[in-house]
Structure 1
């Protein structure tokens, strides 16, 4: 765990704890304390003036903003003041309101994108002034010291001379983080975009963001084109182990998926892809490595080792993304082979490191990632849930697409409609998706047609207790099933005994995971104040039924919240705010990963969790 320091803010009378080394500006914004700024914390507007009581070094920009007497009295620019020890900070009243965007789970993000644009009008060269074009431009950008990309130098002479812009020698410098990536003719400072990707195993989502306002311009999603290689990360890793050419093919398919989404969102918003200057990508460790052409085999075999937790500088072109050729790609760091960048992005978006409530974060999928924390202590683990929640390994299972049963209600007192189904697309039922599976099992457990061990009642017992439902108990291919939908008198969509077992295995793995984290943190299940269900599956899962089958802690359903696509939200936050990226990096040190596979008690605990709560 990283050392934290205390910062007391006045006149707010707020004391916060943050990782050592965080800027005072970031510490304030993380906790909703507004400090004046128009540049978003880049150190250029010199408005984030605060007086600090405590050891803080004088930055190179501070003498330009303060007199020597003010510096001696503790005045500093908050965005450049690093909190290495406990501090007391006096914040003057706001003169201007910082621009902000609402992103994530109720998070307000102060706009401070890595992409900056500066429009300057340069003096024209002459025989008496033969300063180079680049020197002339950099002199005009006196508050920045960027590294210069070759592409910017290539474009600079023409941008200055042949643009037809009035006045002459008016250009816009495009700076991303600390690099000058391009020089554009005229004033294009109002046009800057980025794309946030949620690179899922099944579905990929792209959001085109206007970086000047923080608002989304277009959103599109599609199935990951790697699907033919398997529905989960293990089968895709296995494909690369069995066929040396599979890695190149999987990488190409990831690039095709991302490139297609770029074209779609840019077309929808009427934005030139060359005006997209940065992308951010949140994905699990396997998806990220495959997209970058990194061999994933070590991720799939013990001891499950990543190539790196934090990737070196990556360009959008390395992901096959057709945007500005100099655009970098921000990739989230990963905690482990099975708690990857998508979960770090999700923790960032849901404020797991900042909320002082005891909260449980659960991203339900084939590999279920679980985080438990109280804002100061954070534990994470991954549980092998299997593919049941995504409809795989289920007799009538399917993805959440048209024709999938997503909600099941059973009312044994109803003579006409004892089983009511809600089907995606309001069409004839074709199969059962994950939320429908959970509903069906939970409803049958609730009325007693499934006992706590997960066994369907015998026909005679069902006939006696549930006469309106008993005829739905029959055999299909020698296996006992409960029929949800008939087609011409034949079972069309049903729940089999084996399906129930698959769900039991999945929920037992997840329940064992979070219970072990509860014990590791030294708290009780009843102490948990909120459960966040992340991902697309979490959006459809009934909280009451999740409690009923023992998937999540037995707390009030009002405390169980669908967090939605928090991985995608985290990617958006990374594009909109450099300080949020610092928060993502800090999570690498703040979160302790708990490995389940080597725990001697895991199997016994897993078996204990197979039964449904009585």
Structure 2
């Protein structure tokens, strides 16, 4: 019997014939062939999102074994299932920041003009020593063996006059190359998100963004959330007979190599001189090949907060020339990572006197409070609802995702007006679509404060014992979806209130709120307040910073001041562990309603309700 079978894969007018291994289940086999189907539960059969039809019969892809499928079978994937047949650039991710603090220009990579004297007969100075003497302002300087072997030949070919390319290390610099003509080095900044990886090519001298590319994080094959991936990684690590004991490390490094290789298309014979990476603590430890076991065990301690400089050859990133340094944004705690530190650096909240809040809306739902004198942070474990998890027709912000919702009642039935990403046929709801949908249903009285459907609305129907309202086509919102969305927004809002309480501050003391993350750029502020996700503060206090992780990485690539700021933030910022907080538990329970049990926290609620109704 052959070790592989052929299948005919069909999805929304796309078709592909592929060969898959007989080992394992269909979900794993498809992901090994770069066909990504959402499975928020990590393939445990709990979320029900990976539905497929095999020769017309419905299965969960994670539950059907490949050896149960015939050769040349037809595998159909329903339109509402979130699938990516070619993941690169499909997601409408935030790769740009709407705000970015200006720092002094002192890049992590330096180009230095060198003029050496030709050695004389009686000279006892070696070539490397002569080179280091000419670069005395940058000492100590390390040189790897491969480059050392080229130095004698190059300095003579260049007739003793050339340019040295240097990169920062913990102490001093590393020599990256010698060039006859002045090089225009490029840097790559990478945001390793749990869902999406974004890479950006930067021309260092001009600070220009040359090219941006994104891809679905292929670690999703091991679980949609960091906990599922850590559980898998720890299980593999403890299984001695596995060929690759660090599969998530291997995968993320290979994917960065692919992205950098694609970015090289935007380079005009310019050297890529460094890679700067930001990610949450779990992603950062995966990248560095460090066990995440102890991030899951109380008291949840990371391996490090600041990581040493690594090099491209260590990470098997072979698409770049030479030995390119890889820098990592520092992390604060197990669940407040380098992406949040980058958010802070990009926003500049740590350099201003005004009291500010930063909210990174994602699975962890990180919150930062403070100003130039002090900072404190927390991770709310908000859950993956706004990223497509725990909602039956939830999906990431990719083509076909509903991102805008307007609704009206006609003869006691709901009529929806929607818009989708890319103006493609609707396949599900992304985060901003969920917020707007819940706000509209609440505004119209179709759901109550607890998220229960009204029994008077004729659009509400029962489906397999659960109530739902159809939105468009087969896409519906269920009462269990509403509860999950409310829990997610409740955790985030409770985290904000808990930090304020811990600092002895009031909501009215806050002068600025920065929103970062996957849908901050597309979020309607009033509807966010209406459901109790965002604090009820004047709209002029809100600033949407988009992908703060990529912007902060860019700042650190280009400025020593920004790098120093990041290091100081990590050392000084207080981390509040919400799992131990009675205040958080009380606030969370109070926030499990729309918008909240304490309406005094939402003084503009009635005004927003009127304004949104008048816009119909």
CA contact (8 A) 1:103 1:109 kept: no
Mapped pair 1:184 → 2:178: yes
Q: 1:183 to 1:333 in 2, by over 3 A?
A: closer
1:601, distance to aligned residue in structure 2 (A): 4.1
Q: What does 1:246-325 align with in structure 2 at a 5 Å threshold?
A: 247-272=245-270, 275-322=271-318, 323-325=320-322
CA contact (8 A) 2:98 2:544 kept: no
Tell me, what secondary structure is at the counterpart of 2:253? helix
1:208, distance to aligned residue in structure 2 (A): 1.2
1:590, distance to aligned residue in structure 2 (A): 2.5
Mapped pair 1:480 → 2:467: yes
List alignment gaps of at least 5 residues for structure 1. Answer: 1-101, 463-469, 487-491
1:414, distance to aligned residue in structure 2 (A): 9.6
CA contact (8 A) 1:159 1:171 kept: no
Cα distance in 1 for residues equivalent to 2:176 and 2:511: 49
1:413, distance to aligned residue in structure 2 (A): 5.9
- 2:200 maps to which residue? 207
- 1:524 maps to which residue? 506
Could you list the per-position Cα deviations for residues 319-378 of structure 1 after superposition, in whole angstroms to 9, with x for gaps in the alignment? 333334332222121110000111111111111211222211111111110001133221
Mapped pair 1:231 → 2:216: no
CA contact (8 A) 1:181 1:326 kept: no
Tell me, what secondary structure is at the counterpart of 2:354? coil
CA contact (8 A) 2:97 2:548 kept: no
TM-score (norm 1): 0.76
Cα distance in 2 for residues equivalent to 1:290 and 1:180: 25
List alignment gaps of at least 5 residues for structure 2. Answer: 1-95, 600-616
Task: Select the structure of larger CA radius of gyration.
Answer: 1
1:432, distance to aligned residue in structure 2 (A): 1.3
Cα distance in 1 for residues equivalent to 2:232 and 2:398: 26
Q: 1:174 to 1:337 in 2, by over 3 A?
A: same
1:247, distance to aligned residue in structure 2 (A): 5.0
CA contact (8 A) 1:105 1:351 kept: no
- 1:597 maps to which residue? 579
- 1:64 maps to which residue? none
Match of 1:153 among 148, 172, 185: 148
How many pairs align? 491
Match of 1:514 among 496, 500, 520: 496
CA contact (8 A) 2:405 2:440 kept: yes
Cα distance in 1 for residues equivalent to 2:135 and 2:295: 45
1:417, distance to aligned residue in structure 2 (A): 8.6
Tell me, what secondary structure is at the counterpart of 1:279? strand
Cα distance in 2 for residues equivalent to 1:512 and 1:148: 49
Tell me, what secondary structure is at the counterpart of 2:448? coil
Cα distance in 2 for residues equivalent to 1:211 and 1:310: 23
Cα distance in 1 for residues equivalent to 2:411 and 2:216: 40
Larger RCO: 1 or 2 (CA < 8 Å, sep 6+):
2
- 2:360 maps to which residue? 363
RMSD, aligned CA: 2.1
TM-score (norm 2): 0.76
Tell me, what secondary structure is at the counterpart of 1:109? coil
1:442, distance to aligned residue in structure 2 (A): 0.8
Q: 1:183 to 1:243 in 2, by over 3 A?
A: closer
Tell me, what secondary structure is at the counterpart of 2:313? helix
1:478, distance to aligned residue in structure 2 (A): 2.0
- 2:605 maps to which residue? none
- 2:336 maps to which residue? 339
- 2:373 maps to which residue? 376
Cα distance in 2 for residues equivalent to 1:424 and 1:267: 27
CA contact (8 A) 2:188 2:202 kept: yes
Could you list the per-position Cα deviations for residues 44-64 of structure 1 after superposition, in whole angstroms to 9, with x for gaps in the alignment? xxxxxxxxxxxxxxxxxxxxx
